[in-house]
Amino acid sequence: MKLLIIFLLLIFIIFIIMNNLLNINENYTGLNTDYFKLNLKKNNYTFDENKNITKCDLNGENCITKNFKYHFNTPESVRLVKNKVETSQLLLNNQLPAPKYNVVNINNNFDNIVKSNLSKNINYPIIIKPINGTFGIDVYTNIENNEEFYNVINELKNKNKYDYMMVEEYIQGHVYRIFVFNDKIIDVVQRERPFVIGNGNTNLSDLINQRNQKLIQDKLFPTKNISTNLIQKQGYTMNSIIKNNQTVYISDVINMHNGAILKRIDIHSIPKENLDLFINVAKILKINCCGIDYISKDITTDFNKNKNVILEVNGTPDTEIHTKLNNYGNNFFENVVNNIF
């Protein structure tokens, strides 16, 4: 009897932990904003503390209800897209563009890790990242040779956080976040690699500090994930004086939480082939609301014509990237709310 009680208690604890993990982004920003609630009221929708939204006819009858916990998604679909390996494999199985990948145990012999990558036709440059992760944490990109890869593996071992990591082929281009809701594309934002521009007098370290201070003043995120390797590849150190108007890229982690420059893309400028692709990704993953990360040199060209890929899919996407840019919050959530039912 005691063993049964202990077993049930463990199951309950695991359920609570998994539920909290699913809710990390849900409770971060997500749909929990005043813009969302104001637009619900504007449409005369009622909502409660359990995240149920109800729509009734003019007589207050024939009501229908939807729950927006997990961004209107099922827990199963959120768990699926949190696992980057399962997501990539499912996309590849459906002939959708995703990077070639390999799962490696970083504690294995390094030569065997390299051989394992080659067996999957993954050649340099490569990316290595956690199988489950967010905000670009512990993501290493544009690794160009065995020496760089060896150093990264040792860094990861020293962190003592992972056994298995995901290795992908590195694709150059801009990173775009596409917000898809109920088979409709709500917004598209381009994220550009963090960079500084020299003035002929200031060293790189100070230029980065000045840039980060400006971002913080503007209530944006500073660039914390600085890549000394990327900087060295461009011929600089943190003490280098950067020439006037010279651009120096300082990180390959391209997301808003690492100070990426944001630019809204006119949805009408994106070809139908690409729009259909993004909607199809959501359908294949059976997810109603998601943020798709897509890499391309130009999203306004047909994805079939160049090496463009779906990097990953977020099942509880943060909305700040859409609402902070050009004070777009009301427009963004008006589009979301108008497509709930």
CA distances from 134 to 61, 91, 205, 220 (A): 42, 20, 26, 18
Where do the domains of the chain lie? 2-67, 100-170, 194-251
The 3-state DSSP class for residue 167 equals strand
Question: Residue 286 — left, alpha, or beta (φ > 0 → left; ψ -120 to 50 → alpha)?
Answer: left
What confidence tens digit (pLDDT) does each residue in 206-257 have? 999 999 999 999 888 999 989 988 999 999 999 999 999 999 999 988 888 8
| pTM across the whole model | 0.83
Record the tokens describing residue 97, joined without a space.
């563009």
HSE, side-chain direction, 13 A CA sphere, residue 25: 22
Helix axes 146-159, 110-119, angle to 10 degrees: 120
- The DSSP output letter for 244 is T
Q: Does residue 126 contact residue 149 with C-beta atoms inside 8 Å? A: yes
Residue with tokens 């209800």: 65
* Short-list 140, 185, 170, CA closest to 295: 170
What confidence tens digit (pLDDT) does each residue in 284-322 have? 999 999 999 999 999 999 999 888 999 999 999 989 999
Residue 167's pLDDT band, with cuts at 50, 70 and 90, is very high
Quick one: which H or E segment has residue 227? none
Residue 178 has pLDDT above 50, yes or no: yes
Quick one: which H or E segment has residue 243? none
- What does CATH list as the number for 100-170? 3.30.1490.20
HSE, side-chain direction, 13 A CA sphere, residue 139: 22
What is the residue-wise DSSP string for 291-330? EEEEEES-TTS-GGGTT-EEEEEESS--SHHHHTGGG-HH
* CA 128 – CA 132 distance, rounded (Å): 12
The pLDDT of 186-212, averaged and rounded, is 96
* CA 288 – CA 316 distance, rounded (Å): 10
Record the tokens describing residue 203, joined without a space.
């060293």
Q: Does residue 51 contact residue 57 with C-beta atoms inside 8 Å? A: no
What confidence tens digit (pLDDT) does each residue in 133-142 have? 666 678 888 8
* Short-list 98, 100, 165, 139, CA closest to 312: 98
Residue 2 has pLDDT above 80, yes or no: no
Q: Does residue 302 contact residue 273 with C-beta atoms inside 8 Å? A: yes
Asked whether the CA dihedral 206, 217, 251, 150 is positive or negative, the reply is positive
The pLDDT of 53-67, averaged and rounded, is 93
What confidence tens digit (pLDDT) does each residue in 94-121 have? 999 999 999 999 999 999 999 999 999 9
CB atoms within 10 A of CB 257: 19
Residue with tokens 């290795």: 167
Rounded to 5 degrees, what are φ and ψ at 11? -60, -40
When the pLDDT of each residue in the chain is averaged and rounded to a whole number, the result is 90
